Structures are given as structure tokens and as C-alpha cells.
Amino acid sequence: MMYKLTTYFLLIIGAFLLPVTSYAVHEITPDSINVLKDQGKIEEAKDLVTTWLEDTEDQYGDEAIEVVIPLLVKAELNIIYYEYTDAVKSLERAIAIINLSSGWLYPDYALALNYLAFCKINLGDKFAAFPLLNEAEMIYYKTLSKQHPDYNLCNINRAILNLHLGEFQKSEDYFLKSFQFIEENKEELMKSKTANTISVEWLKIQFSHLYINWYKPEKSLVLLQETQNDLIEKKREKSPLYSILLEALAKHYLYDNEYKMSYTFYEELYNHRKEYYGENHIATVMSALKMGEILAETGYLDNALLYFEIAKKYLGKYKEYVNLEAEVLLNIADVYLQKGDAESASEYFESVGIENTTRRDLYFFYLRVQGDLCFINGDYINAELKLMELVSIVRQEKVFFTKHYSKAIVTLTELFITLGRLQNAIGLCENEVHFLEKRGRNKSVTYLDLKLTLLSAQWYEKLIDETEAMMQITNIEDTLTRFVNPKHPLFIKTNTLKGGLCSDALKYDEAITYFRKALDFANKHGVEELHFQKIQIIDYMGNIYIKKGELDKALDEYRVLKGKFTDESVYFPAFLGRIAYVKALQGNWEEARELAIRGVNIRLNQYDTQLNFTSEDEKINYVHHTSGIFRYFFSLMSMPEGYKSGLMVEKCYDLQINYRKYFLNEAIVRKKKIESLGKYRRQMNFTNYNQHLNQQKSKLATANFFSIQERNDLKIDTYMLTDRINNLEKSLTFASNSDEDSLNVSEYISWKEIQRHLKEKEVAVEIIKLKTIDKTSEFYVAIAISKDCKLPKFIPIGNAQLLENDLFSIYTKEIQPKRRSLVYKKNTTKKVSSYKYYWKPIKEGLEEWEEDIETIYLSKDGIYNAINLNVLYNDVTEKYLIEEEDIHLVISTSDIRTKKQLSNFKNNNICLFGNPSFEGNAEDLGVREATGNSASDQEKYSFYLENLPGTKTELENTQALFSSRGWNVNAYYENEATENNIKKLPSSPAIMHIATHGIYIDELINPILQNPLLKSGLFFTEISSNNDKTVRDIYKSGNDGILTAYEVKGLNLKNTSLLILSACQSGVSDIADGDGISGLQYAFSIAGVKTIVMSLWSVDDVATQKLMNEFYEQWFKTKDIDQAFRNAQLTLMKEYRDPYYWGAFVMVH
């Protein structure tokens, strides 16, 4: 019933209209002004108001109370024409006059306050409206009462204010209250003699904006259609109210994904205002902006720029409209970013005076454009900072919806894909896709862009097959064609993705066709060559031509980008690598070598500056994801012309040691700096964020062994958990390096520096897996340097597939783990060679130095990490390798330094952990039941662990030995051998000895995080004692009895020189990546341990006791760790010739 009202509701002039006596003034009334207004005669209406005001001032004086009425009417006119700053001037003058003449209780004062509040809301200063409305309501309460018609303006303003604040339910309540007020006071309003300014039609339009923003299009359309019919029936198509209606209809169809209808109404709106307001009127400028936005959204970028430039041109005369000016400039910058023109985008972006704006959504827009600009310029650190600031603000302020947030998610996802953070990309994108689906935005351009970006991430992670992906892409293209624009820029992305899918399926001709289509769309929209989408397309096409052997065509593709990259571009090194590879295949080796080495140098330099705002996980993903140049370099190294080049061999050695630097060395430096920051904060009695970070990581590691159902029961948001950890860690990293441009791990390390550390008769050997473009050609090599060599020596070993698969059985049949073993494997194809294949090539390569070699420092890679070189048996000499060579294992040969004597330990404390309590039945050891219907949701780990009485003897012997030598021994046995106790050690002991079960899981079940450090760990007492606790309590504590390598990194072992891991499989880890970042060895090194003794297979208890006792005795005798360990193994070999008993353990520095 209330929507059928046709009576105008008085909001402007109250019932206290004073009688006028001047004839000239008496002829001018609000009604006469409204007639001109409804006829579209804006200038005539303004002139009449001006005349009225001047006549009133002449008759009564400038400060007379009679001047208030024409000032209010003038403000009304300004408001209806969007001239809010002019309206504010009139209203502030009216308020000042009332204050001087009659005081603030005069009812017109409340009227002026209401108008002023409306202006503030629309100028973006929402919070300034609150005190104005409160004061207006108080005046009505104390004078006219809340039943007076004018009071309803407070209800309407409250509705509009809550709409702008995103409080939609409150807004609806106030709108309904205002309509109810009109209905209840209908007769009184009909009798009113006052001017009619704000009508029910106007109120319906305002109400429709609520339902548009609230994503209730069916309700908004009813209001708008009723209003349109009423205005047409009253022949008010020329009125400013009809213009307001057109804008609301355009917005309704835009939010309802009806882009063509939206454009039609925006175009009608622009023409309407040009005709009746004038081309340079502020309202017309606003409509030009809207035209540009709808054109940009639907992919008509050049046309959009024309309208934005029109708006910019006429805004020159409206200096006070800083919000509007900023919005126009940001839109222009945004279009240029879509075209890949970063230079033009920067020019407009830098002109934005964001500090002068008052609208919150403009700051969102500013951050999003700034983030996009940084991304396209390759400044990934600041890109992520700005975009994540936007994301965080929107989440914190619980903004219902802003397109800038959704578009920021698109860029962030693209950024994460570029940086190799595919899990982050998928989680972030999926959340926003689901959000938009719930709000019916599944035909919006932003939604379609998000879906394509999500598909890209899923494709990279191999989570979607070609058929399903193609079907989804086709549906997206169909939606774009039918509802948006058959030539939209998103077709660049759809065709690129299709081409990539076909390329993976070896459908090269189809792939080229799709890539050509993508380039055609890019060229039609004027997309610059260095836009990441074009680079991606050219890369794909070049790779296809390489695979097809059409090398000249590949070079033709690459030449498009020649000379356009800077050294800061993340794409440049791989671009150089591709050209180098093609040149090598064509026989142009001089240029190929030069390009490959240059590409490697640029990438390593980039790592120095681009890793200081990353978490540890993000750093690893980034380095892996951007290591393509190294694969091309190694491809050249696998060719005879490559490894015969002294320059290439030198660079290969340098690459290996510098590449590893960014994993272990950088992680150690990072940890020290964060801990130093935490120490300072503790001294100042501030929160220790590093401690909180470690607690969060423990919770993640604990939840990683839960079933999906258990995680859901606890309402664990796994994406937010990992995101929170990454954000905290990288913010601490960034803060701890705030005074530096990079992490400054060290300068570039050359093989010559390592040579300077070598003594006479010492050799350094780097075993390197050459990961090539053609995986079947991947190869193992060794590169060795001696004290006096002129160049490193290149030693080919053998084909990687052969060493990792077919020859592995020879080794494993000789060394079979029998006890204390817990290894989950779904793929058991990795194999290792024996002496003939594994060591003999290296020995032969070192023959010319053989007489001068006493000590070999060796760093292992790939499959070499899975074997103990010392147990390889030489059939010719009938000796094991330990009897022929003195090999000292190091994580990297860059770690070679003067060996410290054990007497130089920083303390004489030894800490012993062992013989944890694992008593219980098989069915309840480590098993926590989960409820739910899905079998996959309940899938989890069940551990059956036998007690280890042999470790008690092992540790008690160690305790007695060290106590007799005057050492301080802290022992944690049985119920005291807990994960919690090892995490809370009061200080870092000089020696730590841990004897327990170890674990290595080849493939995790429903992992929260694909981190190899979550695959390895050690078992402690909680694994059984936690059976009496709830899953919630276990998660809260972060101690489930499995100390993963992921958690080990956070331990404080900075003073621990020696760690004994007397645990089965403690040395087992992933071997695929070849960078030494997986497993307990890597984690304990980051924690601070200098030397680690660990096992590669399950160990006999008695033999282990004897080995450890002998090792310690030898250490006290020789004061040399390496000699003591070698002597202990040789001594045990006399009793147990089988290497199973003496060869399980390896020592690594």
C-alpha cells in the first residue's frame, strides 16, 4: 500500500514558513522553482533562487532569519543536481544565521542539519553525519515532536547513512519506518501548504539502492519500475528526478550482471544530463565517469578512456571535487594497466592526491591500482604489501562488497602463481569465488576473471584434467559472449589457458591456434608487449616450436621481446635461458654460453633483493618457481660443448653453492635476525611475536595429522591459518631487515673462495643433478676442486633415471631396514646404484689428484642423499669405501672451514631425550576417532609404536660417560621425553642426543600445506599420552607427539655443536628437488646445530649402543668429531662386517 503513494513528502521547508511582504519576493516560491526544475530548466531555476535570495537580503539584511528559507531552497537545488559542495556552503551560512538570530532550537536549524548530513554522506564523510543527525533529532524532540512531518527526514538520513556504512538490515528498517511514517501522516501531509521537494518517488529510488547493494535485485527492480511508471505518467522525464532514476536503473542492471542493459541506461543518463544540465555540469561529469567504468568493465578500453578523459577535462573547473578527480585518475591508470602500459598508468596514478580524499572505497581503489602497478613492474614485495593491506582492511572492517577487493584477489592470485605459491593462490581465489556465487555475481566480469585465474592455479597444481578445464573455459567464454562483450580482454586469458592445456596434452597445432587467438585479442586491445599475459603466450609458443624442432620459429617469437626487459624483470632470466637453449641447439655456442651465464647471474642478483619480504615457505616456492633459467643452463651443461667449457663448469659450481645459499644460509640468517628482534622486544616487555609464530606453526603441524572431519569440527580455517603464519613471518623478516635493501646472506660465492679454504691434500666435491628441459636427459655429475687446480674438474656420473630407479634395488637389497622403522610410501620406484655406478666415476675423475688426496669434502644432491657412500663395496679391492676414502659430508662445500675442536664448545651441557612411553594397544596408539559421513574426510594416520628399551641403555651409558667427564647432563626419559619439553628447553646444550622412533611419510594424506618438512619427524611420549585428551586440547597445545621438521626449525639450538639422532629413518627425506631443503637435517641446521649424526635406515639396537658408546670414547680420545665417528664405524665393522650394523649412520656438517 505504501508504494502506491503519489503525494509528495515535504522535507525542505517546514510548517513555519514566514509570511513575506516584499512583492518581488512574494512572487518567487519553492513551487515556481520546482516547476522550472521539472521542465529541465536548471539555469532558470538557479537564477530564480539567486534573485529570491538577493531580494530577501536587500529587504531584510544579510544576517536576517528570513534569508534562511531561500538558502535552504538553494541548497535543495544544489543537492538534487549533485552540487554538494555548493549546498554545504549555503547550509553552513544558514546555520550561522540561525545561531545568531534565534538559536539552535529553531526548527529550521534541524532541517539544515539534516541536509548537511545528507551532503556529508554523499561527499564520503559518513562519520561527520552522526552528530548532525543526533542534534537534529534532539531539536525535533524538544520543539515539534517526533510526530512532525519534518522529523521523517531523520529516518531517511539514518537509512541512507546505514546503507553507506554497509549496515543493510538497519538501513532497511529505517526505510520501512520512513514509509510507514508517510502512511500514518498521509492526511496531514495532504493539507500541508509547504513546498514539495522530496517525493515518494525519490524515496523509492534511494530505497532501491539498498537492495542493489544488498544483492536483492528483484526488490530493487520493483521499486524502480514503479517509480519510472509514475514519472512518465506525470510527464516528468525532463526532471532531475528522472535522471536520478536512470542512474539507479543502470546500477541495478550492472549489479545484476546485465551489462548491456546497464550500458543502455548509463548512455541514456549521460545524454539526459548533457541536454538538461549541460556538458560541463558536475552531474554530467559523474555520468561520463560511469560511462567509462561500464565500458572498461565490459572490455571496451579505448572507448572507456575517451569518457574518462571527458570527465577529467571538465573536472578542471571543480577543484573542490577531490574524490571525483581521484576516481577518474585511478580509472584511467587502471585501464592503462589492463593494456600493460605501466608508464602511462604511473603518470596518472602519481597525480592522485589520495591524502585529500574522504571516501573509503577510493582508498581501496588506490591500493588496488598501486598493487597492480607494482605487480606489472615486477616489484612483487610492494605489490603484495599493498594488495594484502587492501584485503586485510576489507576483512577487518567487514565491508560487504567492493569490486576493488575482488579485483585485488585476481591480481594476488596471479602474483602467487608467479611466485610459485599455488596453494595460497587456490585458497584465496576459491574463497572469493564462493563469496560471489552466494551473491548471484556468477555472471560478473570479476567472477569470470576469478574463475579463470583459479583454473590456471589448479592446472599448474595438476588438480584438474584437460576435459573438465576446457568445459569450464568454454562456459566462461559463452557467458562473456552472451552477456558482456564477444571481444572482451578476458578472451586473452581463456585462449592462453586453452593453449596451455593443449600443449600439455601434446596437441601442439591446436595450442598454437589458441595462442594466436589470444595474441589477436591482446593486439586488438592494445596490450603492450611486456604485459605478463603476452610474455606468457610468447613463452608457450616458443617452447612448442622448440619441442617440434622448429628453432627459427621459436626465435621469431622471442625476438618480439628482445631489448624490452630490465634486469629487475622476473621474466628476463628465463627469457635469456630459452634463447640460449635454442642458440645451443643451432650450434651457436658462443652466444648461447654468454646468454645462459648472464641469465643465471641476473636471477641470483634478483634473489638478493626479492626474498626479504617472504615467509620461509614462500621463499622456497618462489625460488623453485623461478628456477627455470637454471634448467636451461643445466641443459647446456649436459651437452659436450657445455661441460667442455671452462666458463660453464665454473658457473655450474658457483650456481650450485649460491643456489643452496638461498635455502639454508638465508634461513639461518633470517632466524637469527628475527630472534634478535624478539630478544629486544622481550627486554622492552613487549609481545614476543616469534614465540607466537612458533606456536602457530606447531598448531599447523598438529592439525596436519588430523582428518578433514576433525579440522571441520574444530572450525579450523586452514587457509587463514597458513596465511596468518606467512604474513607474520614475512612481516618479522621485513622488520628485522628494515635498515637493509636485502637479506645480505653474503656476497656472491665463487669456487675460488672455497679453494682458499682448502688445505693441502684436501678436495671439495659438489655432486649436482643436472635438471634439464628434457627430463629423460637429466644427468648426475660431480665438480671437484683442489687446493692448486686452475679450473674445477667436471666429472660425468650417469643418467638420473638409471641411478634413481633401476639401480636402486642393488643398494636396497644389501641394506634392508628391519626394526624401528615407520615409513609411509605410495611410490617405491626411487632406486640407488652401488659402487660401480655410484662412486667409481667420481674416483676415476679424481685419479690425477689421487696421490694428493687425503680428505674429501663432499656435498650430495638428489638420490645421493638417500645412500651412505661409506657402505659401497669395491669388488676389486674387497673393501668398503670407508676403508679407502676419508669423506666428510657437508650440506654445501661453501661451509668448509677450519674444524673446531670439541673442547671449544660454548658450554659443557649435554641433553638426552629417549625411550619415550609408547605403551598401549595397537588400535589406540596414535588413533583419534572422527565422526562424519565421508570416508575421505575421516582418512587419517594410525601409528603403532613399540617401546624402545634399547635406547634406555644407550642413553644411560652416554649419561654415565659424560657425567664421569664432568659434563652437565639433563636427561628426559619415558614420560619426560615429550615434544613439549624439547620445545621448551631453557638453553641450547652443546650436545643433544635423541633416541626414539623416526617417521618419513612419502605422500601426506589431505595435507594443509605441501611442505616437505611436514613429511619427516620424531615421535615423543604425547603420541600415546594424548589418547586421553580431546582433539581440541591437542590442537590448542600444538603438541601431538610428532615433532616435525617443520617445527624443528623454530627450536633454539644455536649453541648446539653436535646432534645425535639415534632414530630410524631420521636421515630420510624427499630427494626430488635437489636443493637440500627437506628433512630433519635441514631443519636442525636452521635451528642452529653445527654437526648432525643421523640414520638412513632402521638400526639394530645393540649395534647402535656400541656405535654411540665407541664414538663418544673416540671423541674424548681424539678431540676430532670426524675422526672419532670414522674410527667408531671402523671399530664396529670388525665385529659386524655387514654394513647394516655399522653403516646406517652418517655425519653431516
Angstrom distance (rounded) from CA 582 to CA 546: 7
pLDDT confidence of 1065, banded at 50, 70, 90? low
Label residue 192 exposed, middle or buried (CB < 10 Å: 0-12, 13-18, 19+). middle
Angstrom distance (rounded) from CA 273 to CA 239: 10
Share of the chain above pLDDT 90, in %: 34
* Topology (CATH level 3) of domain 9-198: 1.25.40
Angstrom distance (rounded) from CA 702 to CA 717: 14
pLDDT confidence of 897, banded at 50, 70, 90? low
Pick the closest to residue 873 from 811, 920, 823, 949 (CA basis). 811
Please determine, for residue 999, whether its predicted confidence score (pLDDT) is greater than 70: yes
Please determine, for residue 112, whether its predicted confidence score (pLDDT) is greater than 90: yes
> What sign results for the dihedral spanned by CA atoms 684, 690, 692, 694?
negative
pLDDT confidence of 826, banded at 50, 70, 90? very low
Least confident of 281-285, 286-290, 865-869: 865-869
Please determine, for residue 493, whether its predicted confidence score (pLDDT) is greater than 90: yes
Q: Which pLDDT does position 293 carry in this prediction? A: 96
Q: Each residue of 510-532: pLDDT tens digit?
A: 999 999 999 999 999 988 877 78
Please determine, for residue 778, whether its predicted confidence score (pLDDT) is greater than 90: no
Grid cell listed for 170: 538497519
Q: Which pLDDT does position 970 carry in this prediction? A: 92
Please determine, for residue 927, whether its predicted confidence score (pLDDT) is greater than 70: no
pLDDT confidence of 24, banded at 50, 70, 90? very low
Q: Which pLDDT does position 381 carry in this prediction? A: 78
Label residue 1121 exposed, middle or buried (CB < 10 Å: 0-12, 13-18, 19+). buried
Please determine, for residue 934, whether its predicted confidence score (pLDDT) is greater than 60: no
C-beta separation of 1139 from 814 below 8 A = yes
Q: Each residue of 257-286: pLDDT tens digit?
A: 999 999 999 999 999 999 999 999 999 999
Q: Which CATH number fits domain 908-1148: 3.30.360.10, 3.40.50.300, 3.40.50.1460, 3.20.20.140?
A: 3.40.50.1460
Least confident of 269-283, 482-496, 599-613: 599-613
Angstrom distance (rounded) from CA 461 to CA 430: 14
Pairing assessment for the beta strands 1058-1063 and 991-996 based on DSSP bridges: parallel
Angstrom distance (rounded) from CA 24 to CA 843: 114
Please determine, for residue 1028, whether its predicted confidence score (pLDDT) is greater than 70: yes
Q: Please state the rounded mean pLDDT for residues 223-247.
A: 94
Q: Each residue of 323-362: pLDDT tens digit?
A: 999 999 999 999 999 998 989 999 999 999 999 998 889 9
pLDDT confidence of 722, banded at 50, 70, 90? confident
Angstrom distance (rounded) from CA 807 to CA 1028: 47
Domain residue extents for the chain: 9-198, 218-300, 759-817+826-895, 908-1148
Grid cell listed for 17: 514558513
Q: Which pLDDT does position 928 carry in this prediction? A: 34
3-class DSSP state of 1148 = strand
Please give the DSSP secondary-structure letter assigned to residue 913: E
pLDDT confidence of 23, banded at 50, 70, 90? very low
Q: Which pLDDT does position 898 carry in this prediction? A: 46
C-beta separation of 959 from 912 below 8 A = yes
Grid cell listed for 840: 667409481
Grid cell listed for 159: 537509512
Q: Which pLDDT does position 250 carry in this prediction? A: 96
Q: Which pLDDT does position 937 carry in this prediction? A: 54
Q: Which pLDDT does position 940 carry in this prediction? A: 61
Q: Which pLDDT does position 1093 carry in this prediction? A: 87
DSSP H helices in 684-717? 689-703, 708-713
Contacts of 4 (CB under 8 A, 6+ apart): none
Q: Which pLDDT does position 765 carry in this prediction? A: 93
Grid cell listed for 113: 542539519
Q: Which pLDDT does position 329 carry in this prediction? A: 97
Q: Please state the rounded mean pLDDT for residues 1099-1115.
A: 83
pLDDT confidence of 478, banded at 50, 70, 90? very high
Q: Each residue of 612-635: pLDDT tens digit?
A: 666 777 777 777 778 888 889 888
Please give the DSSP secondary-structure letter assigned to residue 1073: S
More confident site: 682 or 818: 682
Please determine, for residue 971, whether its predicted confidence score (pLDDT) is greater than 50: yes
Q: Which helix (H) or strand (E) holds 324?
A: helix 322-338
Residue 1122's CB is within 10 A of a number of other CB atoms, namely: 17
Pairing assessment for the beta strands 779-786 and 762-770 based on DSSP bridges: antiparallel
Q: Please state the rounded mean pLDDT for residues 730-751.
A: 64
Grid cell listed for 853: 688426496
Q: Please state the rounded mean pLDDT for residues 291-319.
A: 94
Chain centroid to Cα 364, Å, comes to 17
Q: Which pLDDT does position 12 carry in this prediction? A: 34
Q: Which pLDDT does position 1068 carry in this prediction? A: 56
3-class DSSP state of 365 = helix
Least confident of 700-704, 705-709, 810-814: 810-814
Angstrom distance (rounded) from CA 1038 to CA 703: 8
Q: Each residue of 125-168: pLDDT tens digit?
A: 888 999 999 999 998 888 888 888 888 899 999 999 999 988 99
Query: Average pLDDT, whole number, for the chain?
Result: 83
